[in-house]
Structure 1
Amino acid sequence: MTQTAKMTLTATAAALLAAGVTLTTTASGWTLPGLLKAKEPVTAPATSDATPASAAPAAPAAVALAAPAAAPAPAVALPAAQVPNYRAIVQTQGPAVVGITVAGLHKAGASADADGPGMQDDPFFRFFRGVPGMRMPQQGAQPFRGQGSGFIISSDGIVLTNAHVVRDAKQVTVKLSDRREFAAQVLGSDPATDIAVLKLDAKNLPTVQLGDAKQVQVGDYVLAIGAPYGFEQTATQGIVSAKGRSLPGESVVPFIQTDAAVNPGNSGGPLFDASGRVVGVNAQIYSQSGGFQGLAFSIPIDVALKIKDQLVAHGKVEHARLGVTLQDLSAPLAASFGLEAPDGALVSSVQPGSAAAKAGLKAGDVITGVDGEPVRVAGDVSSRVGLARPGDKLKLELWRDKKRVAETVALGRADKDVQEAAATPQGGSLGLALRPLERQELRGSGLDHGLLIERVTGPAQLAGVQPGDVLLALNGKPVQDIEQVRDALKNSPKQVALLVARDGQQIFVPVRLG
């Protein structure tokens, strides 16, 4: 070993010992304490081109040269990670996880294995019912059968699942792990958050333990149980990959992202934390194949329970509306507004007569906080507003004209068409969330008709359609209501041409659907 090599070995050994690390090699059995206590320097076995050990200088010289080096920072002790007892979670919580089979009729052109015609081609595929359904766009209603998952939250038969699992269903059957089956009543469903509540005529049923989604952190272990492709009581594990995800067309829910393997049929099943408590409802995957590709998304359980309370009490959910179009900030945009960091939601437009307009919000405002909570991206605001009730007041922290301003907003009521569009993009495979323009908006824009595009996903997003555009015509035919868009897509065209108004100009946008 050369002098340099021995100096490096001794200095490194001293640094590692100071950090509380023991060095061991399987080849020679060296340990760090032994290295430092040795009267003579210990060297690695010589190779053909190495300097003989007898020619090496004494150890003190190496120590003297290494002494001036700065002391290493104290090592940060990380708690030992403990793998959850998955077996115990499945044994204790599994009996409350149920399989759900549905039967009903789809409208002509609808698909039973996705949320609408062509949605199976959308990367954000809503693993709709698990068992592939019929895809025969014929005239008249078509029968379908499908399967999903759910879980029991009260012993008297209250079951949570996804709204899209029971969509259009005329018969809903719930099957327990002990093979008992019950006909289920749908107490209500909320497409905007994709939560549905079922009721079984039974008593003393097993129930899951409910947790706190806010306590879950990125890197935590999670376990999913459900019926992928109809394989009931299937358990898969992973970790939390991210929190607060806002997906295209799904701005109401701050999703929990995981890498736990879920597939068609897991929809509506529970996501457990390491202690065996439900922290989420499995709802979506990102996939270009239709199957699991490492990205799954769950609705936080606190969101699901909030929706459940309204559905049980009233059979429906009322969502609030702020009345703005928001976009995320980029670094250049933040700099142009005088912000040090690109955190916040930029208001790109304010709808006349909306709650935002009444509170004095205007285009160019940046929402930096809601009720004292910081806003990083536009989805933070959308989820807070979407989960609030009409009439609720929010205190907004704004950045306006390079100054901080506070405004209190009394939220309005979300339009029914917009609520439905949040989870079922109007226009089917187009992936558009649409609503009719209000009179004030028509006058202000100089248009005499059109549908405002509030959210964009799927093929329309890939084609370059943007939120805030106004849809004027589809394949050359003017559109004045959402039904006209649905009618134009009944025959599942491979491509359509949209005429949209943007920034005072009208442009045609070709959208490929198949």
Structure 2
Amino acid sequence: MTDRPTDLSSPPTPQPVRRSLLSARKFALMASVVAGLGAGLYGFSPAPDHFNVLSTAAHAQVNNEVRKVAQPVGFADIVERVKPWVISVKVNINEKVAKNDDSAEDSPFQPGSPMERFFRRFGGPDGMPPGLRGGRGGRGAVTGQGSGFFISDDGYAVTNNHVVDGADKVEVTTDDGRTFKAKVIGTDPRTDLALIKVEGGNNFPFAKLAEGKPRIGDWVLAVGNPFGLGGTVTAGIVSASGRDIGNGPYDDFIQIDAPVNKGNSGGPAFDTAGEVMGVNTAIYSPSGGSVGIAFSIPASTVKTVVAQLKDKGSVSRGWIGVQIQPVTQEIADSLGLKKADGALVAEPQADGPAAKAGIQSGDVITGVNDQPVKDARELARTIGGFAPGNSVKLTVIHKGQDKVVNLTLGQLPNTIEAKADVDRGDRGDATRGSDIPRLGLTLAPAGSVAGAGKDGVVVTEVDPKSPAAERGFKEGDVILEVAGKSVASPSEVREVLAAAKTENKNSVLIRVRSGGSSRFVAVPLAKG
């Protein structure tokens, strides 16, 4: 028996279907053998159409298996289960734009704040956040729409801070069309999360926050209220994790490519188990619509923040009182570190927990409570996850030596102090400094420049083609330390550089104060 010729004009049969066909053929063959044995043993002949009946049964089995293979697996069952948990959030904000021009309506954030800068950069053409675009509800009033989801049957729900920030009135609409008033229980601008409570209802269906972290490539379903249309579902995958979008030190966003548009802010991103892996908060959108890049707050962050908001209406975070920065490979080489891990202490705050515990500028924090710290952002998130008053154990590299520092966490200040730039209006005789050719900087003692303070040397000129310029040095910066040594004059800088060259160092670590904050910069030494 030979197989029939293959029809080359048709696409090849998928492997699972081929296996099904083979199984069906085996089934038919076995059935025919059994029928033949029956005829031989009992002395009867099968009816002429007996094998046709078997053949029909075999073909029916093949057709059923082909249908199973060919039918795509959809999300209908998951959507049917999770959709009732999602709500539309409508807000009314009075006294917002009554005395301002039209541009004041563009963004609900303070000018220059991290969220305002982010949405100006990544939001729509008008700079509005994706969850808060509406029309004016009347003179001096703004209406906006966003999304959210229930987290308990008594009406507690999660949404974005920027959706309800400053709202005088909050209404939610459930998936079955019911409308309720809601009140804001608490907000956390640093993570852009808010907790609201529906009034006058109970026994609401609610979502569960996922326990584990999603993997890149996992399916994700975004459910929300885009453009005020009501419950809408989009699907995609997790594109990346740990994203820093410049919102603040606690950035740890999940990036997804499920289409998220205006009004989706505050809505959940579900995994295929029907659990909330994240809260959609922002989109990258040059045009104002979805381009397939959206950011969600991880469920782990939502859990800790919401628990505090429910308990006391605000979030308290641990604080050690240091300015920190990433450890680049150049900085690691300058400090003699084996790996570019940890957080470099640029400057401990006076009278802060770290300063009291003996942590100094140039120290590298590599662990918290025996858990390694990968970078500066991870340190900020880890410390921020502890409550003030807790004791923590920091692993620190101090001048090349490992040591352990125990300290009690303070409370992160709720306000950010404004920091003035160095006054460059009266330059005095700053240009009398000596040129430092290997760095491309012209320097002068800080005391000779008005407003520069008494410590360090001031950068009065930067060669635009120099290594220093490539690393962000600018006129008015104050160099405080070079290679771990305090400097007060250009000649001291030259001496330290000469010593570093004698020791065959490839780069030097410079601590520089710029705009009121300090940072370390690794600058390569010119050869020759």
- TM-score range with shorter-chain normalisation? 0.5 to 0.7
TM-score by length of 1: 0.63
- For residue 188 of structure 1, what is the aligned residue in structure 2? 186
Q: Separation in 2 of the partners of 1:247 and 1:408?
A: 32
Instruction: Tell me whether 397-406 or 156-165 shows the greater mean CA deviation.
Output: 397-406
- Aligned to 1:336, what secondary structure does the other structure show? helix
CA distance in 2, matches of 1:434, 1:383: 23
Q: Is residue 2:105 matched to residue 1:111? A: yes
In structure 1, the partner of 2:122 is 123
Contact 1:257 1:296 in 2 (8 A): yes
Residues 158/309 of structure 1: CA separation in 2 closer, same or farther (3 Å cut):
same
Given that residues 420 and 515 in structure 2 are in contact (C-alpha distance below 8 angstroms), is that contact kept between their aligned partners in structure 1? no
State the percentage of identical aligned residues: 38
The amino acid of 2:371's aligned partner reads: E
Partner of 1:356: 354
1:269 to 256, 267, 270: 267
Deviation at 1:249, TM superposition (A): 3.3
2:146 pairs with 142, 145, 148, which one?
148
Task: Kindly indicate whether residue 70 of structure 2 is the aligned counterpart of residue 87 of structure 1.
Answer: no
| Residues 400, 290 of structure 1: alpha-carbon distance in 2 compared, 3 angstrom cutoff | farther
Q: For structure 2, which runs of at least 5 residues remain unmatched after alignment?
A: 1-7, 13-71, 422-450, 455-471, 479-513, 520-528
Q: Structure 1 CA distance, aligned partners of 2:137 and 2:339? A: 48
CA distance in 1 between counterparts of 2:340 and 2:254 reads: 23
What is the CA–CA distance in structure 2 between the aligned matches of 1:144 and 1:186, rounded to whole Å?
Answer: 17
In the alignment, residue 278 of structure 2 is paired with which amino acid?
Answer: G
Number of equivalences: 359
Say if 2:213 and 2:277, in contact at 8 Å, map to a contact too: no
- 1:367 and 1:170, CA in 2 relative to 1: closer, same or farther beyond 3 A? same
Aligned equivalent of 2:368: 370
Give yes or no for contact 1:101–1:173 (8 Å, CA) kept in 2: yes
CA contact (8 A) 2:132 2:145 kept: yes
Q: After TM superposition, give the deviation of residue 370 of structure 1 in Å.
A: 2.1
Relative to 1, partners in 2 of residues 1:169 and 1:503: Cα closer, same or farther, differing over 3 Å? closer
The answer to whether the Cα contact below 8 Å between 1:111 and 1:135 also exists between their aligned partners in 2 is no
CA displacement, residues 372-412 of structure 1 (integer Å, 9 cap, x when unaligned): 33222211011122232211222222222222222223111
Once residues 418 and 121 of structure 2 are traced to their aligned partners in structure 1, the CA distance between those partners, rounded to angstroms, is 18
1:343 is aligned, of 328, 335, 341, to 341
Structure 1 unmatched runs, 5+:
1-25, 30-82, 419-432, 438-443, 448-463, 471-498, 505-514
2-structure distance, mates of 1:322, 1:87:
48
Equivalent residue, structure 1, for 2:281: 283
Mapped contact 1:112–1:132 kept (Cα < 8 A): no
Taking CA–CA contacts closer than 8 Å with sequence separation of 6 or more, which of the two structures ends up with the larger relative contact order?
A: 1
Q: Once structures 1 and 2 are overlaid, which stretch shifts more, 217-226 or 386-395?
A: 386-395
Which SS does the other structure have where 1:326 is aligned? strand
In 2, the alpha carbon distance for the partners of 1:293 and 1:228 equals 14
Query: Mapping of 1:132-143 within 5 angstroms?
Result: 132-133=134-135, 142-143=140-141
Q: Answer whether contact 1:320 1:385 (CA < 8 A) is retained.
A: yes
Residue 94 of structure 1, CA deviation: 0.6
- What SS class does the counterpart of residue 188 from structure 1 fall into? strand
2:208 aligned residue: 209
**Alignment match of 2:306 (pick from 302, 305, 308):** 308
Equivalent residue of 1:159, what SS?
strand
Query: TM (normalized to structure 2)?
Result: 0.61
Instruction: Quote the offset at 1:227 in angstroms.
Output: 1.1
Q: C-alpha displacement at 1:96, in angstroms?
A: 0.8
Q: Bigger radius of gyration, 1 or 2?
A: 2
Match of 1:17 in 2: none
Determine which of 63, 76, 87 is the counterpart of 1:98.
87
Report the alpha carbon displacement of residue 502 of structure 1 after superposing the two structures with TM. Answer: 6.8
CA distance in 1, matches of 2:285, 2:375: 24
Q: Which secondary structure state, in structure 2, belongs to the residue aligned with residue 156 of structure 1?
A: coil
CA deviation string 1:96-141 (max 9, x = no partner): 10000000121546335553457542226773534344599xxxx9
Structure-1 separation of matches of 2:294 and 2:130: 14
Conservation of the 8 A alpha-carbon contact between 1:128 and 1:165: no
Q: Which residue pairs with 1:169 in the alignment?
A: 167
Distance 1:193 1:347 in 2: 24
Distance across 2 between alignment mates of 1:503 and 1:412: 21
Corresponding position of 1:220: 218
Contact 2:270 2:277 in 1 (8 A): yes
**Alpha-carbon offset, residue 261 of structure 1:** 1.7
Letter in 1 for 2:204: L
Residue 473 of structure 1 corresponds to: none
For 1:235 and 1:434, how far apart are their aligned partners in 2? 43
| Equivalent residue, structure 2, for 1:317 | 315
Partner of 2:389: 391
How far apart in 2 are the matches of 1:373 and 1:503?
27
- Secondary structure of the equivalent of 2:180? strand
